[in-house]
Amino acid sequence: MDYEPAVFCSRCGRKAPRWISWSVPNPGRRYYACVESKHGFLQWHDEPTSPFLRVLLGDLRDRVWSLEDSVAALCGDGDPAAGEVQERTAGVGVVGDSVRLMMCGIVIFVSGLVVGMIIS
Ligand SMILES: [Zn+2]
């Protein structure tokens, strides 16, 4: 990996961290922005992507977000659907917890597999 010099906010002079955009027009495009958003400093690291990659990355982003929601629901991240999973496993005790963990692992594994297949 090549050395890349730091980028500094033109308003406050602080080092601007690099982020990844997941907006509709720039999915996967890296940029620098000041931690103080009110400074309005933004500098792109990558060139704009092709329309094909923009649509592909947008679709993958939506798929990942959908799968993350499914995992959150299964793992009980405060989602209303999580209560349903907990109800189903209630009374099963340790076995229920391990089944739930295994389901989360399977969902995460399948998510990675789907994303890997689409990217390759
Ligand atoms: Zn700043």
**Model pLDDT for residues 41-67, shown as the tens digit of each residue:** 999 999 999 999 999 999 999 999 999
For the chain, give the mean pLDDT. Answer: 82
pLDDT (0 to 100) of residue 60:
94
pLDDT tens readout for residues 16-36: 999 999 999 999 999 999 999
Report CA(14)–ligand 1 centroid distance (Å): 6
Cα(37) to centroid(ligand 1), Å:
7
Q: How remote is the CA of residue 11 from the centroid of ligand 1, in Å?
A: 5
43: β partners: 32
**Kind and range of the H or E element at 10?**
none
Query: Is the pLDDT higher at 94 or at 55?
Result: 55
Give me the pLDDT at residue 94, please. Answer: 56
Q: Measured in angstroms, how far is the CA atom of residue 45 from the centroid of ligand 1?
A: 17
How deeply is 115 buried, as exposed, middle or buried, from its count of CB atoms within 10 A (0-12, 13-18, 19+)? middle
Q: At 114, is the pLDDT very low, low, confident or very high (cuts 50, 70, 90)?
A: low
User: pLDDT > 70: what percent of the chain?
Assistant: 69
CA of 44 to the centre of ligand 1 (A): 15
- The position carrying tokens 């947008």 is 58
CA of 18 to the centre of ligand 1 (A): 13
Name the DSSP class of 14. Answer: P
Which candidate, 48, 28, 23, 15, places its Cα nearest to that of 4? 15
Query: Quick one: which of 106, 64, 61, 101 has its CA closest to 85?
Result: 101
pTM of the model: 0.58
Tell me, in angstroms, the distance from the centre of ligand 1 to residue 81's CA. 41
What is the distance in A from the centroid of ligand 1 to the CA of 54?
A: 29
- Residues 26-65 as b/e (b if ≥16 CB within 10 A, e otherwise) read bbbbebbbbeeeeeebeeeeeeebeeeebebbbebeeeee
